[in-house]
Amino acid sequence: MKLTLRAFTPEDFEALYRIDQACYEPEIAYSRRELRNYLRFPGADCFVAEDAGKLIGFCLTAHEGSRGHIITIDVLAEYRRQGVGTALLAEVESRLAQLGVRELGLETATDNNSAIAFWHKHGYRTRAVWNDYYPGGRDAYAMTKTIARSAAR
């Protein structure tokens, strides 16, 4: 794999939408409208991962002041466990640290064991359980991580 990370461009939108649809069940995956709205949030930032020019994943964040939020991190199934998510996460954490973000938050389903393990591996800790967060009554862990200026490259 020849992994390249870069900033999102509007031409990437349909590929991001298809990746999100492939990564999540239909009731959880974002609609085109939702994804566009998240990309337009104040403080939104998105990085994409490519393998030989093919988009294989992305991480969408937003921030305000010293607080940031990971909206989603999506990697196509055939590219998981190859460092793509870790590379995307390192890139967005570095970028957000440079912008003055000191705390990052996210939500993940309480029954998504691989995601929970990924977040724990990267220093995120559970702060709360949000009942009925996802469609169908699925609960979510609210997780946070403090990032330091040293995270900035």
The rounded distance, in Å, linking the Cα atoms of 12 and 99 is: 24
Question: Among all chains, which residue has been given the structure tokens 């709360």?
Answer: 128
Question: In the chain, what's the furthest Cα-to-Cα distance?
Answer: 41
The pLDDT confidence band at residue 127, using thresholds 50, 70 and 90, is very high
Q: Please give the share of the chain, as a percent, with pLDDT higher than 90.
A: 89
Is the separation of the CB atoms in 126 and 142 below 8 Å? Answer: yes
- Tell me, what amino acid is at 107? E
Predicted local distance difference test score (pLDDT) of residue 145: 97
- Nearest-CA neighbor of 37 among 13, 9, 5? 13
- Residue in 125, 108, 13, 127 with CA at minimum distance from that of residue 70: 108
pLDDT at position 27: 87
**Section 125-147 average pLDDT:** 93
Side-by-side strand order, sheet with 3-7: 3-7, 45-51, 54-64, 67-75, 103-109, 138-146, 125-134
Count of CA atoms in the C-beta half-sphere (13 A) of 69: 14
How does 43-56 read in b/e, with b if 16+ C-beta sit within 10 Å? ebbbbbbbbeeebb
**pLDDT of 107 above 60:** yes
Distance (Å, whole) CA 36 – CA 68: 19
Domains of the chain are 3-151 (3.40.630.30)
Over residues 43-93, the pLDDT tens digits come to: 999 999 999 999 999 999 999 999 999 999 999 999 999 999 999 999 999
C-alpha to C-alpha distance for 22 and 28, rounded to whole angstroms: 11
The type of residue at 12 is: D
pLDDT of residue 16: 97
Structure-token match 């992994």, residue found: 3
pLDDT at 152: 45
If pLDDT is split at 50, 70 and 90, which confidence band does 132 have? very high
pLDDT of residue 94: 95
CA separation for the pair 93, 51 (Å, rounded):
21
